[in-house]
Structure 1
Amino acid sequence: MDVCVVGAGPVGLTLAIGLRRLGIRVRIVDKAPATKHEARALVLWARAREALDSLGVGETLRRHGVELEVVTIHARGRALGELTTGWARSAHARPLNIEQHDIERLLSEELARLGTRVEWNTELMDVKVHDDRAEFTLRHADGTVESAVAPWIVGCEGTAGVVRDRLGIAFEGRRRTGLQVVQGNAHPTWQLGEEPGRGHIFLAPHRSLLVFPLPGGGFRFFCFRDDPDPTLTTAPTIGELRDLVAETAGMPGLRLEATEHLWLNRARFSDRVAARLRSGRGLLAGDAAHAWAPVGGHGMNVGILGAHNLAWKLAAVHHGQAGESLLDTYSDEQRLLAVRYIREMRFNFMELPLPPLGFRAFTATVPATLARRGVQRRLDLRLSDLGRSHRDSVLSRHRPGRRHRAGPRAGDRMPDVALAAGADAQGTDAVRLHTFLGYERWTLVLHAGRAGAGVLDALREACEGFPTPVRVLPVTPWDASEARRLGHPDDLRLVRPDGYVGLVAPLARTALLRSYLVALAAGARTPVRAIPGTPPTPPARHTPSARLVPPTPATPPTPPALIRVDPR
């Protein structure tokens, strides 16, 4: 094996699938006997859906879930307004409700098709990392102990992770007090019906109740409440859940009928982030790297995005296409993303239980707020995670001193722009830019109207000789609005394998592109081939070190393909 992944939850499985698609041999182990069947995470937001789709499992997940279209907000026995979804421009704009155990099952099946099966009942006992490998000990179900070695090990095994503990990485943060979460699946007897695609949020003093439809019928009831008895740790009964729902929703006659599997749990949480997500040949992802109260329902999604960020970088380093410092960019980007979520979720008053005065003040503003289309768009964009960026990453480079003109900045997600299928294909349906991006390569996106033969030759020459594959992609936006989303026609955008913009530079300044790629290849075992007559690339003036931008991904050292967007 090349990588041992510890933990077969959604994050570990996403990471393993990404690595396998990039030619990495993976072993994935989990101490549990099988996939967990209990009420856990439920929602996949738009950005995580895009990430999973780029790994080939998006459509499979969609068929087993139900898209959430609208959420009605209730308080004091009346509806305050509706929050609609799907405002974002993405093929996966709406959140997908799907049980975590179904996600794990479907991802496990996909991983098996790629030649790797989860080793259940296999517990990690110890880990030691060296300069060139990780040595670890596994205990199997029959009690036998195995000593194993791999070039890399990644801990995805949760908040009590052995990998993080053995690496000596601090789990910084503190316990969240005064907050308890009670959840379960049930069929309610109420007048609101059971409309697919419609959820509800009920607000009350010291309570916030989220009710989301399940793919197989019924609802997940998710109640944030105060914590009057912190010593109570037993799972709630269906009666306790009914009383909480009836009290919060103002429906004293409400009855709850358990779904086929009676899944109920009670949880309390800490807000914690690992001090770093890498120590040599050992890395952390998912809840082993960061965990917080499930306000907003983004914990699993952030973990999946982290796995999507890590897989291509780890594959590039292992294949010798980049130096190990590329992995430090994963640690920096993912830690900052988690820290921002923890800060923002402390102000999510739609879900956090409020005292009576705060409850009255907040609910008084909800009807007018939800009546504004601009607010609806902003809320949907924030929930979707499509607006999250890595602008502060050392991998995100905008030409120093250049005023931003239009389109995504370096570090932003590349928009899924609608494109004309071909220059001579008038009246045909639009195609989406994301269908031409690839997880196995970088993509150089530019306006086809500026892609003359001389320009393409210069771009090809700038990319020549690098171990990282780059696809040069001239595209024609569908209309003027889509052209603005793509960016200024005189700029190029180099898109990372995970869909974020790495470089924005003028088309005429191919030296900036080459210097970026040189930096990506820094430390790679596959040397960069020099172009005759090309002077050495000077170090970037905007970075404190001589290392321009830490290394990056790739596959075999093949020349970049020059293509036009014409699926015919």
Structure 2
Amino acid sequence: MPGVDVCVVGAGPVGLTLAIALRRLGLDVRVVDRAPAAKHEARALVVWPRAAEALEALGVAGTLARHGVELGEVTIHAGGRRLGALSTGWHRSAHSRPLNIEQHDIERLLCAELARLGTEVEWDSEVTDVKVHDDRAEFTVGRPGGSAESATAAWIVGCDGTGSVVRDRLGIPFRGRRRTGLQVVQGNAHADWPYGRHPGHGHIFLAPRRSLLVFPLPGGGFRFFCFRDDPDPTLTGPPTLGELRDLVADTARLPRLRLTPTDPPWLNRARFGDRVAARLRLGRGLLAGDAAHAWAPVGGHGMNVGMLGAHNLAWKLAAVHRGEADVRLLDTYDTEQRALAVRYIREMRCNFMELPLPPLGHHVFSATVPLALALRGFQRRLDWQLSDLGRHHRPSALSWQRAPAGLGRGRGPRAGDRMPDALVSTGHPGTGPVRLHTLLRYDTWTLLLLAGGPGGPGGGAVPESVHQSVREAVLERCARGPVPVRVLSVTPADAAEARLLGRPGELRLVRPDGHVGLVAPAGRTADLDAYLTALGPAPAPMSPSVSAE
């Protein structure tokens, strides 16, 4: 018999997020990492809103927020002049602004939460071999001094980075290529410069063949992050503080700039490739984080995409392990997460705010920035993209659109979309409107019915007698499993909130990770029955999505 339910290989942010999620779902988890102790390198810096929502569902977002600083505005500069400012927080979420917090602090806080849940990270433990069988995964753990342990788990998940041993032993190709002509020079430092230090305020400086991002650190000082061309690929070591200072001074046109190192000091030079594993699951072996996908840190979303993948994977793995769902549910993790990674790689290749441009391209782009930033619609769209709140799984086999998608405002989320965090009332005496996300739970599906309240486009409020009969019908169907489903009746707080949630004559089945699985007319419980049947361990084939772009 397997020794534990799941072995997570790698104690970075993704592995720790996955382990916490699995523990909260009641699985026995083992976490091993080849490092001798928790890391102290700065590395990733930003937690974007959608990843923060995922961490909130796991009970750790508040802890991270207390140790970070929200980024509210970023000023754009070029040629020594101010082009405009980009503001954040345009969209409805309890975490509407990005959070600046260094990766080593994230890992420290997540390790503490995992320990509170009863699992300690096993440091100095390197997985050297992996074999998967129909009923278990076998792996070998190397120890200091040359000792080795043979162990088993029902499942093994490689969160062990771009050089993943798990991926290599499973024989999964890591497809892609190196990104040429681009290097990232970065470091943490205190700056004596005319822009001061304002918590929540960052800067981007644009120049030919380079782009410099500067964000305040929670503990003081700044992270200087420069994308630049690669005139000398033989330079592989970290930059000196002098090299970083000259690069920042030249890009920002600050000849008298002085930088002093933070404590502890951190300087880094990196080059990257864009790669995605050919598959994220082989039997009882799975991949997540950088072991599954990696790209140049344009946009700063690599850690966030990995965390969202862990959030996607844990509830599916728990459902399959407990026999509630067919193993094909894990294949939807593979397709959804790989599609998400591929979209990021494609989009980040067009991120001209951060990618270094040649002189002519820089001149043209800099001329358009003030015009774009002056448009409210542009600010909203850019914030929507950066926040990841609009990321969806519409093409997934788990996304069934059985009601017309409709056009314009008021159609509500489609199958595969993130469920909006609208203000709703539950009808309990003495309670006011609450955020919908506080009512969703990670350990169960939620069948959402809109009861009473203001109507949206395409129809008014559902009469109470009709709503009650529908509620009774879906309660009866949900009680027969196979996965746990709770029925939640809510009333939108006002007409604006109703437009976020969609037509009152529809039901929406929300996945544990907050994405909509099924949209169907409220009276057609046969659609709900078919969806739940397809989830279960019976061999009924998954329905393809009918949601068109």
Query: TM-score of the superposition, structure 1-length normalised?
Result: 0.91
* CA–CA distance in structure 2, aligned partners of residues 133 and 327 of structure 1: 15
Q: 1:325 to 1:258 in 2, by over 3 A?
A: same
Write out the 4+ residue segments of structure 1 that deviate beyond 4 Å after TM superposition.
400-405
Deviations 1:141-190 (A, max 9, x none): 23210000111000000000001001111100000000000110001101
What is the letter of the counterpart of residue 39 of structure 1?
Answer: A
Structure 1 counterpart of 2:302 = 299
Q: 1:422 deviation in Å?
A: 3.1
Counterpart of 1:227 (choices 225, 230, 243) is 230
1:280 aligns with 2:253: no
Q: 1:429 deviation in Å?
A: 4.9
Q: Partner of 1:151: helix, strand, or coil?
A: strand
* CA–CA distance in structure 2, aligned partners of residues 248 and 547 of structure 1: 53
8 Å Cα contact 1:520/1:549 also seen in 2 = no
Counterpart of 2:311 (choices 295, 302, 308) is 308
Deviations 1:266-316 (A, max 9, x none): 000000000000000000000000000000000000000000000000000
Counterpart of 1:151 (choices 150, 154, 178) is 154
Structure 2 counterpart of 1:122 = 125
What is the letter of the counterpart of residue 501 of structure 1?
Answer: V
Specify every segment of 5 or more residues in structure 1 that has no aligned partner in the other structure, as ranges.
Answer: 525-538, 540-545, 551-568
Superposed CA RMSD in Å reads 1.4
Structure 2 counterpart of 1:420 = 425
* CA–CA distance in structure 2, aligned partners of residues 60 and 194 of structure 1: 24
Q: Partner of 1:548: helix, strand, or coil?
A: coil
Structure 2 counterpart of 1:448 = 451
Deviations 1:304-336 (A, max 9, x none): 000000000000000110111110000000000
* CA–CA distance in structure 1, aligned partners of residues 346 and 190 of structure 2: 34
Structure 2 counterpart of 1:521 = 536
1:74 aligns with 2:77: yes
Structure 2 counterpart of 1:133 = 136
8 Å Cα contact 2:400/2:543 also seen in 1 = no
What is the letter of the counterpart of residue 59 of structure 1?
Answer: G
Counterpart of 1:511 (choices 511, 522, 526) is 526
1:470 aligns with 2:485: yes
Q: Partner of 2:245: helix, strand, or coil?
A: helix
* CA–CA distance in structure 2, aligned partners of residues 243 and 519 of structure 1: 60
What is the letter of the counterpart of residue 14 of structure 1?
Answer: T
Pairs aligned (count): 528
What is the letter of the counterpart of residue 119 of structure 1?
Answer: E
* CA–CA distance in structure 1, aligned partners of residues 331 and 259 of structure 2: 49
Structure 2 counterpart of 1:324 = 327
Structure 2 counterpart of 1:488 = 503
* Mapping for residues 177-188 of structure 1, pairs under 5 Å: 177-188=180-191
* CA–CA distance in structure 1, aligned partners of residues 293 and 49 of structure 2: 21
Counterpart of 2:515 (choices 500, 505, 527) is 500
* Mapping for residues 41-440 of structure 1, pairs under 5 Å: 41-399=44-402, 403=406, 406-420=411-425, 422=427, 429-440=432-443
Q: Partner of 1:262: helix, strand, or coil?
A: strand
Specify every segment of 5 or more residues in structure 2 that has no aligned partner in the other structure, as ranges.
Answer: 453-461
What is the letter of the counterpart of residue 66 of structure 2?
Answer: R
* CA–CA distance in structure 2, aligned partners of residues 368 and 389 of structure 1: 30
Q: 1:423 deviation in Å?
A: 6.6
What is the letter of the counterpart of residue 110 of structure 1?
Answer: E
Q: 1:60 to 1:401 in 2, by over 3 A?
A: closer
Deviations 1:46-100 (A, max 9, x none): 0000000000001000000000000000000011000000001000000000000
Q: Partner of 1:142: helix, strand, or coil?
A: helix
Identity of aligned residues (%): 71
Q: 1:453 deviation in Å?
A: 2.6
* CA–CA distance in structure 2, aligned partners of residues 58 and 243 of structure 1: 37
1:548 aligns with 2:543: yes
8 Å Cα contact 1:519/1:549 also seen in 2 = no
Q: 1:430 deviation in Å?
A: 2.7
8 Å Cα contact 1:423/1:476 also seen in 2 = no
What is the letter of the counterpart of residue 203 of structure 1?
Answer: L
What is the letter of the counterpart of residue 417 of structure 2?
Answer: D
* CA–CA distance in structure 1, aligned partners of residues 23 and 473 of structure 2: 34
8 Å Cα contact 1:173/1:272 also seen in 2 = yes
* CA–CA distance in structure 1, aligned partners of residues 57 and 538 of structure 2: 28
Structure 1 residues 31-40 or 56-65, which shifts more?
Answer: 31-40
Deviations 1:361-380 (A, max 9, x none): 00000001000111000000
Q: 1:421 deviation in Å?
A: 5.4
What is the letter of the counterpart of residue 467 of structure 1?
Answer: P
What is the letter of the counterpart of residue 409 of structure 1?
Answer: R
Q: 1:36 deviation in Å?
A: 1.6
8 Å Cα contact 2:392/2:417 also seen in 1 = yes
Q: Partner of 2:519: helix, strand, or coil?
A: strand
8 Å Cα contact 1:38/1:264 also seen in 2 = no
* CA–CA distance in structure 2, aligned partners of residues 177 and 298 of structure 1: 20
Q: 1:40 deviation in Å?
A: 0.3
What is the letter of the counterpart of residue 543 of structure 2?
Answer: L
